[in-house]
């Protein structure tokens, strides 16, 4: 009987978000500054935390020349991934991911004059 109650609660929470895809929801389509658990919940596509003890909040993606993190499966970032069309020139090794040192800078891959 606990499982159906949990399922009902989940459906009640998700229904407003799923019914209004272009409007802000309780779980998805969150605005900058709202609490999040993963980047898929944020309109911006970045769920950001300042440090390991802080709460994660939706934040704008990194612009050109700003610090960034490569996209990863956890989807909570200390530095947001780059805006569309930019690449994060960073350490993409497993060691960089584990030690949380895989930060880089957003660059335009089409702009060869700045390389």
- Rounded to an integer, what distance in angstroms lies between the CA atom of residue 91 and that of residue 13? 38
Within a domain: 86? yes
Within a domain: 115? no
Within a domain: 9? no
Within a domain: 31? yes
pLDDT for 46 beyond 50: yes
Q: What is the pTM of this model?
A: 0.70
The DSSP bridge partners found for residue 87 are 107
Within a domain: 18? no
Within a domain: 46? yes
Looking at residue 4, its pLDDT comes to: 58
Give the number of domains in the chain. 1
Please write the tens of the pLDDT for every residue from 52-73. Answer: 899 999 999 999 999 999 887 8
Structural domain of residue 38, as residue ranges? 26-108
Within a domain: 84? yes
The 10 Å CB-count burial string (b at 16+, else e) for 74-103 is ebebbbbbbbeebbbebeeeeebbeeeebb
């Amino acid at each position: 009987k606990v499982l159906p109650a949990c399922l009902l609660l989940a459906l009640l929470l998700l229904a407003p978000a799923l019914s209004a895809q272009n409007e802000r929801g309780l779980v998805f389509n969150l605005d900058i500054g709202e609490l999040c658990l993963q980047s898929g919940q944020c309109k911006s596509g970045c769920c950001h935390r300042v440090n390991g003890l802080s709460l994660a909040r939706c934040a704008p993606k990194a612009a050109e020349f700003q610090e960034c993190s490569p996209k990863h499966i956890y989807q909570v970032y200390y530095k947001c991934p780059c805006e569309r069309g930019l690449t994060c020139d960073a350490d993409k090794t497993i060691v960089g991911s584990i030690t949380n040192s895989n930060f880089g800078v957003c660059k335009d891959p089409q702009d060869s004059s700045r390389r």
